[in-house]
Structure 1
Amino acid sequence: MRRGLPGIVAQLLLWPLPWRLRRAVLRRGLGFRIEDGARIGFSVVCAGAVRLGAFSRIGHLTLVRDLARLELGEHAVIGNLNKIAGVPRDAAGAFGDEPDRDPSLVIGRHAAITNSHLIDCTNRVEIGAFATVAGWGTQILTHGIDIAACRQRSAPVTVGPYGFVGTRCVLLKGAVLPERSVLAAGSVLGRAETQSCILYSGVPAGPVKPLDPASLYFSRTVGRVA
């Protein structure tokens, strides 16, 4: 996949085509793996490897650029108006001393990123199966400045299976929201938490109270919440 402006322009030129023809060009010309029932709206996806599982979907006016890999499991969703950007592995300058850095976004089956979020994939972002990045205006940031070393560092961010991220949250590099846990709206999560079935809230976020593991959100078998 061509990077930068050429890659963006190439996909914009495909927008007038019916999805069936656009899908054929993306598969054969650009190497996308798009399984049956999957669909990309009027969005631009520039990544080294792209795999869309069966019936997964990317909505409209979402921009994905400079990722090594974008992977959506079956029935996974990326909504509208999201900005998802990485830093290529071979980029000069920052992060050159992080050989294992993985600028990728991996979304598990039936998981969802809704609308108008900002996701920094300088390092890997993983959204577990049936998890939801809900509302709008959440930022996931996998890099930041190390004040002591006076340089930028990166670390992966993970939302565990059946996790729920409320509207306008911030997840910083190295953050982990454990499975079947909730990050309350407006919270800032800056570390790897380990306890499952917990409501995390605050700035910085910490455990507030346990959640009932029998809650229907934590046991559903389809991704969409009515």
Structure 2
Amino acid sequence: MKMKRLLALAVVILPWTLKRWALQRFWGYQLAETARIGLSYVFPGELVMAERAFIGHFNVAIHLGRLECGEHSIINRSNWITGHSPDGAHFTHRADRDPTLVVGAHAAITKSHIIDCTDRVEIGDYTTLAGYHSQLITHGINVVDGRQDCKPIRIGAYCLIGTRVTVLGGAALPDRCVLGAASVLNKAHTEELSLYAGQPAVRIRALSADSRYFTRERGFVH
């Protein structure tokens, strides 16, 4: 195990061509020809990166069962993505726990966010986790049962997540929705084309289906 960690540190600083070869050869990762990882420590159990998927510099992704990056997806810079090993001491009562992060096609995670994947986190196609310092936290302490517990998080497609939000385990944001800055999303909502905001977040108003953000054909926003 120690040798593999030392090898991982060495691989981080390699030029991409050599890094890609090493990640496929020694870790068995599935990396499309046009996928790319910058100067980042990204070593989940499984890694799948589709065409043009990109992970930038100074990201950490460890203790995940799986990280899946859709085509043209972006994990930009300085994000901390972690989970809890399936063979750890906690969450043994959650036999179906899935420590996975799925980043959909053309989706983007910007900078300096914390994503806890003790349980599954899904970020839908064309969705942007915008701004800085948001937290997606799937686990916590159940004070009634006196043990740690976890629930998955789902963010739908074509969503826009504002800066400094908190999303808790069990929460869901439907497709084509906006979550306002500094909001706390603490439960599963169902109504699409809506602005949600507040602490806790509630539906504020409807949004137009004709909005350009919801109809664009590429992830990049000018």
Matched residues in 1 for 2:87 and 2:187: separation? 27
Give the aligned partner of residue 204 of structure 2.
208
Whether the 8 Å contact between 1:7 and 1:46 is mirrored in structure 2 is: no
1:164 and 2:160 equivalent? yes
Whether the 8 Å contact between 1:198 and 1:210 is mirrored in structure 2 is: yes
TM-score (norm 1): 0.95
1:25 and 2:22 equivalent? yes
What does residue range 121-132 of structure 1 map to in structure 2 within 5 Å? 121-132=117-128
Matched residues in 1 for 2:4 and 2:157: separation? 32
The verdict on how the C-alpha distance between 1:161 and 1:7 changes in structure 2, with shifts beyond 3 A counting, is farther
Whether the 8 Å contact between 2:24 and 2:31 is mirrored in structure 1 is: yes
TM-score (norm 2): 0.97
Matched residues in 1 for 2:152 and 2:13: separation? 36
Whether the 8 Å contact between 1:108 and 1:128 is mirrored in structure 2 is: yes
Using the TM superposition, give the Cα deviation of residue 9 of structure 1 relative to its aligned residue in structure 2, in angstroms. 3.6
Give the aligned partner of residue 224 of structure 1.
220
Give the aligned partner of residue 101 of structure 2.
105
Number of equivalent positions: 222
Residue 62 (structure 2) aligned to one of 62, 65, 69: 65
Using the TM superposition, give the Cα deviation of residue 15 of structure 1 relative to its aligned residue in structure 2, in angstroms. 3.4
1:43 and 2:40 equivalent? yes
Matched residues in 1 for 2:184 and 2:3: separation? 36
Q: Could you tell me which amino acid in structure 1 is paired with residue 30 of structure 2?
A: R
Residue 51 (structure 2) aligned to one of 44, 51, 54: 54
Using the TM superposition, give the Cα deviation of residue 124 of structure 1 relative to its aligned residue in structure 2, in angstroms. 0.3
Residue 77 (structure 1) aligned to one of 61, 74, 79: 74
Question: Please, which runs of 5 or more residues in structure 1 have no aligned partner?
Answer: none
Matched residues in 2 for 1:169 and 1:6: separation? 38
Whether the 8 Å contact between 1:82 and 1:116 is mirrored in structure 2 is: yes
Q: Could you tell me which amino acid in structure 2 is paired with residue 174 of structure 1?
A: G
Give the aligned partner of residue 119 of structure 1.
115
Q: Could you tell me which amino acid in structure 1 is paired with residue 204 of structure 2?
A: V
Give the aligned partner of residue 136 of structure 1.
132
Using the TM superposition, give the Cα deviation of residue 8 of structure 1 relative to its aligned residue in structure 2, in angstroms. 4.8
State the superposition RMSD in angstroms: 1.2
Matched residues in 1 for 2:91 and 2:97: separation? 8
Using the TM superposition, give the Cα deviation of residue 88 of structure 1 relative to its aligned residue in structure 2, in angstroms. 1.1
Matched residues in 2 for 1:48 and 1:114: separation? 23
The verdict on how the C-alpha distance between 1:16 and 1:171 changes in structure 2, with shifts beyond 3 A counting, is closer
Runs of 4+ in 1 over 3 A off after TM superposition: 5-9
Matched residues in 1 for 2:15 and 2:127: separation? 31
Using the TM superposition, give the Cα deviation of residue 10 of structure 1 relative to its aligned residue in structure 2, in angstroms. 2.4
Whether the 8 Å contact between 1:8 and 1:46 is mirrored in structure 2 is: no
Matched residues in 2 for 1:104 and 1:193: separation? 21
What CA deviation, in whole Å up to 9, does each residue of 1:10-69 have, x standing for no partner? 222123422111111111121111102110000011211100010000010100000000
| Secondary structure of 1:212 counterpart | coil
Matched residues in 2 for 1:102 and 1:113: separation? 20
Using the TM superposition, give the Cα deviation of residue 175 of structure 1 relative to its aligned residue in structure 2, in angstroms. 0.6
Whether the 8 Å contact between 2:13 and 2:39 is mirrored in structure 1 is: no
The verdict on how the C-alpha distance between 1:214 and 1:23 changes in structure 2, with shifts beyond 3 A counting, is same
Matched residues in 2 for 1:46 and 1:37: separation? 19
1:13 and 2:10 equivalent? yes
| Secondary structure of 1:79 counterpart | strand
Question: Please, which runs of 5 or more residues in structure 2 have no aligned partner?
Answer: none
| Secondary structure of 2:205 counterpart | strand
